[in-house]
Amino acid sequence: MNAFDYEAPQSVDEAISLLSAGNGNVGMLAGGTDLIAQLKEGRKIDLMLDLKQIPEATALSFDEDSGLSIGAATPCSKIYSYDVVKSRYPALVDCTSLIGSIQIQNRGTVGGNFCNASPAADTPPAVIVLGSTCRIAGANGTREVAAEDFFTGPGQSVLQPGEFLVSIQVPTPVANSGAFFLRFIPRNEMDIAVANAAASVVLDSDKTTIQEARVAIGAVAPTPLLVADAGAALVGKAVDDEDAIEAACAASRAAARPISDMRGTIEQRIHLSGVLTRRAIQGAIQRAKES
């Protein structure tokens, strides 16, 4: 590991000025569960910028009007232990509670999971189907980007030099809605997704018809994917319409553009996109019914 400077700015503005003063070779430290491993594997940085002293980056708050705000440096275990998340955002519990181990969950953050931008990241699909936005700070102020538009490629995001992710805003769930996330791994913990999927649905008042639906899949393309066709296949359909659910699964399989690697083959991942889409939709419908 090479020598580098370390700074812990106290505010968004201070972070922005440190970022712009650096020569671009800055490692942003939230939980460090990716960054520190990368440094040990040879990544070289000039400056480590620790976000954990910035109030906006560590806040976790809920407001009925504006929804849930997750500071980019908020650890997963804090998120899934938050009462509002437990009662209103179970899909966020699904994804934050299965990353790594409990020790990793105590350090690792959703913001870091986004910025590391692994195609197999476990939090983006759920965050995407919940209709979330990413709040990004830069020299020219703050901008907002839809979660599904945040990723541009493996390890790549829309973040420009001098910008950083401050928080993720998740809207308040509407009545009769439900969301669900799951992944497929060969083991039962401590693993990287071979494929993952999330779904959210809004049902009508008697909970028999799907009014709105979103499906997102991961680890099957260079970025997490919002599969618009999968959601569209469900809208206006009965909750027990097997053909509609199968059409959504087919849409996920069609959207998947996976690679073969030691974690899975193209064929296996395309197949799993369908299997996990079905299970995610069924889970989301179940939760909407119970809501």
Q: Which of residues 241-280 bind another protein (CB under 8 A)?
A: 249, 253, 261-265, 267-268, 271-272, 274-275
* Alpha-carbon span 112 to 129, nearest angstrom: 19
Quote the least distance from Cβ 85 to another protein, whole Å.
23
Q: Per-residue x/- marks for another protein, 25-44, CB under 8 A?
A: -----------------x--
What is the C-alpha R_g of the chain?
19
Quote the least distance from Cβ 274 to another protein, whole Å.
6
* Alpha-carbon span 92 to 50, nearest angstrom: 24
Q: Is 184 in the site for another protein (CB under 8 A)?
A: yes
Q: For another protein, which is the closer residue by CB, 103 or 142?
A: 103
**CA-closest candidate to residue 72, choices 178, 147, 180, 182:** 147
Q: Per-residue x/- marks for another protein, 208-247, CB under 8 A?
A: ----------------------------------------
Quote the least distance from Cβ 73 to another protein, whole Å.
23
- Number of other CB atoms surrounding residue 242 within 10 Å: 10
Q: Which two tokens stand for residue 125?
A: 């699909």
Within 13 A of 123's CA, how many CA atoms are on the CB side?
A: 30
* Alpha-carbon span 177 to 203, nearest angstrom: 6
Of the ranges 46-54, 107-115, 187-195, 215-223, which one interacts with another protein (CB under 8 A)? 187-195
Quote the least distance from Cβ 42 to another protein, whole Å.
8
Q: Which residue has the tokens 């650096």?
A: 22
